[in-house]
Structure 1
Amino acid sequence: MIRVAKQPEPTSPGFDFDGQVRQPGLSALAELTGNPPTLKRRGPRIKQRAARVEDLSSSDLRDYDYWTRAMEVLHKAYGGVCAYACFYIEPLCGPTVDHFVAIISTKPQDAYEWDNYRLACSLMNSRKQAFPDVLDPFRIENGWFVLNLGTFKVEPAPGLPTDTTERIKATIIRLGLDSREYRNMCRRFFDGYWNPPDSKPPIPLWSLERDAPFLARELRRQNRLRPEDVEPKDKEPQLAG
């Protein structure tokens, strides 16, 4: 994982997050608790399911998943890169809206808040679920997670405070960043860059930085770039939209 720079809430004319996600969500919450809708819309009234917003379940909210309307703009804002796995997610291959504070453990209103969203591939989202032991990509520091280029395992950086190291380990275990499939994906990108088959040209560094920014950062940090990619004052890539 690398630190993800939080992107601003999208507004018109590109995408009206407030009008397309937040306000319809808040209106649905009002109706779900027996109150008048706060927005005019077509169709029958939403049936009341609880007396208070706090008593609504996650399944109640998932019936009104207006956050999915923000999927395309979320993908664009964060460069298509999974906040947890740090690989580019093709739009056809399962990008999802992860509620960092899960909708079953937060105020229902936060289900419709941009700042609570992280772009995640479906596998990382399913592994994270509502578990509170995963570090927030918005709050970690670059350099906390390192990649062993011999084993392709993600590890805590040496020399960190004990509590930070333990939280990094918990995040790695929870997300499966030490799993065989994750290591194989890292190895495939590494081999494409360093050992392309049959005299094929290597993956360009710019492509690696776009599609596997954590691996690219670790190659740079560990002085493992191809000679033609080494520049004076080489700068670390940033994960942003």
Structure 2
Amino acid sequence: MALRTEPEAFDRIVRRPGLSDMAELVGEDPLPGQGRMNPDETFPDRESIPGRHLRSHWRRARNDLLRTYDQTCAFSGLRVSTPCPPTDDHRLTIDHMVPKSKNWRLVYEWSNLRLACKILNHRKGDSEDVLDPFEVDANGEAWFHMEPVEFRLFPNPNLNPCLQARIKATISRLDLNGPAWLSAREVHFTRFKTHGRLRQVERAFPYVAREIRRLGTESTPPPEVSSDA
């Protein structure tokens, strides 16, 4: 998954209203053309603004994010049917890759928004040890491998140890080897093994489809994966 072009309306419906709110929250005038927020409380600088005081203008970009990233969770690779997700935990939400509390300049930036299943957004929280999905596989190699027995994820053993450690940290933080995700990957892998319809898997769970292709071209068995990976 890679960063896509910012929608034409984003600056008007998200960035400018958000930055205008921030201006008022530090005692400045709103940006030209923007309505007044009239906050009850102001702060000495933008770094001091608590996240709860930031209005969620980024939600106006939800439809653009769904369309641009094909309703796919950036962190799991699961494509989610918006009207009827499998569970509420799978409902697609908007995550700030760099948390709102860490960098005010990125709060209303398209490049910092990721579609994320509700449960993964919650688990990530304000942590900064989760790999950015837009950086994953940047060197042309698949960073997250799946073994086809228990369907656990593990780092590509050809990567350098530092990167492997970051992949393990991401898997742990998001609990990507938890029972629900193991079951989801097994269901789609088994569906392919039973019916041989890779296109259906591609539509439902693009990550699993990619791993099916990878496993179909590799003759070496995956390494043993420890339960705490």
Q: Does 1:87 align with 2:84?
A: no
**Aligned in 2, Cα 1:28/1:44: closer, same or farther, shift over 3 Å?**
closer
**Matches of 1:194 and 1:145, distance apart in 2:** 21
Give the structure-1-normalised TM-score.
0.82
Q: Does 1:161 align with 2:160?
A: yes
Distance of aligned partners of 1:65 and 1:99 in 2 relative to their CA distance in 1, 3 Å threshold: same
Q: Deviations over 1:10-62 (max 9, x none)?
A: 00xxxx0000000000110011111111144557623342121111011111x
Task: Give the Cα–Cα distance (whole angstroms) in 2 for the partners of residues 37 and 54 of structure 1.
Answer: 18
User: Secondary structure at the residue paired with 2:115?
Assistant: strand
Partner of 1:227: none
Unmatched segments (≥5 aa) in structure 2 = 86-90, 218-229
TM-score (norm. length: structure 2): 0.86
Q: 1:213 Cα shift?
A: 1.2
Which amino acid is 1:89 matched to?
V
Aligned length: 208
2:93 to 67, 79, 96: 96
Q: Could you tell me which of 7, 10, 35 is aligned with 1:10?
A: 7
Deviation at 1:136, TM superposition (A): 0.9
Identity percentage of aligned residues:
34
> CA contact under 8 A between 1:87 and 1:212: conserved in structure 2?
yes
CA contact (8 A) 1:30 1:37 kept: yes
Greater relative CO (CA pairs within 8 A, separation 6+):
1
Unpaired segments ≥5 residues, structure 1: 196-201, 225-241
Aligned-residue Cα RMSD (Å) equals: 1.6
Q: Per-residue deviation at 1:6?
A: 0.9
Q: 1:120 maps to which residue?
A: 116
Larger deviation: 160-169 or 37-46?
A: 37-46
Conserved 8 A contact 2:20-2:34:
no
Letter in 1 for 2:132: D
